[in-house]
Amino acid sequence: MVWNFQDSYTNLPEIFYSRVKPDNFNNKKLLLFNEDLAKEIDLNFDNLNKNQICDVLLGNNQLDKYFFSQAYAGHQFGNFTILGDGRALLLGEHITNDKQRLDIQLKGSGKTPYSRNGDGKAALGPMIREYLISEAMHNLGIPSTRALAVISTGEKVLREKFEPGAILIRVAKSHIRVGTFQFGSLLKKSDEFDNLISYTINRLYPNLINKKHKFLNFFEKICDLQINLIVEWMRVGFIHGVMNTDNMSLSGETIDYGPCAFLDNYNPKKVFSSIDKMGRYSFENQPKIALWNLARLAETFMHYIDNNEIKSIKIIEEILNKNEKKFERNWNIMMSKKLNLDINNKNNNEVIKEFLDLMHIYKLDYTNTFLDLENNRLNKEIFKNWIKKYNKCKLKKYNKFNPTIIPRNHIIEKIINESYNGELNKLYEFEKILKNPYKNNINKEFLNPPTDNEKVYQTFCGT
Ligand code: AMP
Ligand code: MG
């Protein structure tokens, strides 16, 4: 037996989940398989052929077991909706040898009671994208859900046109989201929400269980993790693209790679989602939206923080304000490190801001310009005056801070197109390269920003 399943989520009241089974797929094929991750979480696939691995990953060796999809709600682009896993199910909670509890989720496995008008399926392209980008994020040192495998299903799924279908096997500390709490807070019986909040604290932050102000500490902890996460996203130029409250995990992991992207040329107002006309989820707006989502989270359990509503609101506001300031501070430290400045120097702001402005005006590549600075390759004309200021405060080089490689959209698009034609070599090459994103001497083909023809302007939600 490969899995060591021991489910706990299904001990919650039944309103929080539905029992489901994945569809049957007769022509499935293992396309991507993350052996390193399998080893890391103590899964032993030795002596299994690819077909058998697919069976294990899809739960086909557990015929007697029902799996489950989770109920949740969420603010999508500001509008509140009841949602749930419409195309995903949890195979189970796998316990590693060192007693970590990990959700094993299938994404694209068929309809569930939460599918609404959707087909419950996923197209191959977006699943390859999520695999590559979530693993790249992990290897960049940024908290993220992981990708264990992509299995093509042999089916065609209808998006803008017919596309090959696929399933992603995702590994996460948990899939409890801000939206799970929003769903819980709508329930009439207060003991159902009691159950959810106790379960979440026990599972994710057990060291808070006996704290006098555990609900307050719980909120503070989640704020802390989210703010740190957004600073990390901005370090590598990542735009999540759909920071809806159902896509914000209470574990502090980056989750749900839909219309996300890494910046090529620096533009703080950049959005990638085709429906984000107002720039709600633009690069620079990410910290503000994180705080907005955290306020929505706080609303669901305000009365646990203090019985007196006015007092509770005041406490929450203070925490949010503190975190806004913390973001500024941490962003400053992060940018100082990207520029190899002394983080204790109070006057870094100006040097940072001017550098970003020049990058913005001259449409310079976010990743490569920091590397150019480190390697004395900056454009002398553009940076002439700036360099003079910079040389006065430059300090030393921080290791593993500025990535050499990020998964750029135009490359992922090329790889996906090739994979649709059955050519997988580039996909495997890129997957390997992304394992060491701070390494030098990487094939130039993967490092260059897109030419005008190659630019991918938007990524679509129809995933
Ligand atoms: P996402 O944009 O992936 O975060 O999904 C938002 C919501 O739509 C979630 O409740 C998903 O489960 C649901 N959803 C997305 N795609 C599909 C699909 N093809 N079929 C059913 N539900 C879907
Ligand atoms: Mg989602």
Contact status, residue 151 vs residue 54, Cβ threshold 8 Å: yes
Instruction: Say which residue the tokens 């960049």 belong to.
Output: 140
Distance 234 CA to ligand 2 centre (A): 21
Weakly modelled stretches of the chain, pLDDT under 70: 457-463
Which of 68, 72, 83 for mutating ligand 1's site (highest number of atoms within 8 Å of CB)? Answer: 83
Nearest to 322 by CA among 248, 223, 213: 223
Nearest residue (CA) to ligand 1, atom 11: 86
Q: Which residues line ligand 1 (CB under 6 A)?
A: 83-87, 115, 118-121, 242, 246-247, 256, 258, 461
Nearest to 248 by CA among 200, 294, 194: 294
What is the structure's pLDDT at 277? 85
- Provide the 10 A C-beta neighbour count for residue 423: 11
Distance 461 CA to ligand 2 centre (A): 11
Distance 86 CA to ligand 2 centre (A): 9
What is the structure's pLDDT at 460? 54
Residues in the chain: 463
What is the structure's pLDDT at 457? 66
- Provide the 10 A C-beta neighbour count for residue 173: 20
Q: Would you call 357 a catalytic residue per the annotation?
A: no
Kindly report whether the global pTM for this prediction surpasses the value 0.75: yes
What is the C-alpha separation between 125 and 415, in angstroms, rounded?
A: 9
Which of 23, 79, 87 for mutating ligand 1's site (highest number of atoms within 8 Å of CB)? Answer: 87
What is the structure's pLDDT at 282? 97
Distance 166 CA to ligand 1 centre (A): 15
What is the structure's pLDDT at 391? 87
For 319, the token pair is 């925490």
Nearest to 234 by CA among 137, 159, 146: 137
What is the C-alpha separation between 336 and 346, in angstroms, rounded?
A: 10
Contact status, residue 269 vs residue 453, Cβ threshold 8 Å: no
Task: Select which of 103, 246, 256, 365 is catalytic.
Answer: 246
Q: Which atom of ligand 1 is nearest to the CA of 244?
A: 4
What is the structure's pLDDT at 392? 83
Instruction: Say which residue the tokens 């419409």 belong to.
Output: 86
Contact status, residue 330 vs residue 383, Cβ threshold 8 Å: no
Please report which helix (H) or strand (E) contains residue 75, including its range: strand 73-76
Contact status, residue 130 vs residue 240, Cβ threshold 8 Å: no
